[in-house]
Structure 1
């Protein structure tokens, strides 16, 4: 009799422990997924901001092209600027499309890891290609605007370019940190799923 009671109590205790373990695992997975969703949201916000900046400058420069009488800026320089912002906007739209494919709830962790790794590679490529596109862009603008580039103007432009590079790189590294946070969250989810 006592042995039977002990077996029943042991079985009930085992079931409670198993339920608690499942509950704790589910709770931990939800915390990891919430953190990953938060990281994806930060990335989407960053990409959307730069898409809107590209869109705004494309519209602004198109308007400037419409009213330009070529006294100070030639149309070719404005066209080069519009082309630069259209390329940047297209790139941002593509990266937003990639971020939309990263769905924590519907995709497997391996798919998410592949997509985030691809996004990370494309983000680094954007930095390199973006910086390398600036060289021919400024070359084209300098070619068409030779007459307005005095030494004072070049000094001010160089100071502005250095400030822009510092701001751009600090923004990039904050964005890079968010990508790494997302990758670590997904790796934690993957390792925890194996348990």
Structure 2
């Protein structure tokens, strides 16, 4: 079933396009693959980035939207990603980056396309475990900026995943969140890959 990718806010997309068109922004980015790209680069697959909060607290965990992430494609693969953030003036470009989460996100999205149920893809950062997951939300009609993981939603840990958590293996939220909460309660706070 095809994924229902939510549309990014127009100002977020415009800010990424402006940054891609700026030789200074691309040259100063810590992304050798983006600087070395041969041919046009395009932002694709905008995903809302949510941070999971209250994982170890009593009651249901909540999420907070922190930005939109675009995979930057050159040719047939993603070479980098661009992150946007919300400021008092609206959505704006934050930074370019590359690394294992770019390829891992692309792979997880390809795997999700083969599932039988339609989903809305999002990214979920899990602070304390320094973990990022593709969040496959079952409500494909919402705008992607609100909500919390439903028990029947799927989480696909991206590589590198914390020790003992298999990357690219989909888990129901009801099954994975209790495991993550237990693990997070036993570790010192590590931070978030998307805070």
Higher strand fraction (1 or 2): 2
TM-score, normalising length: structure 2: 0.20
Question: TM-score, normalising length from structure 1?
Answer: 0.20
Higher relative contact order by CA 8 Å / sep ≥ 6: 1 or 2? 1
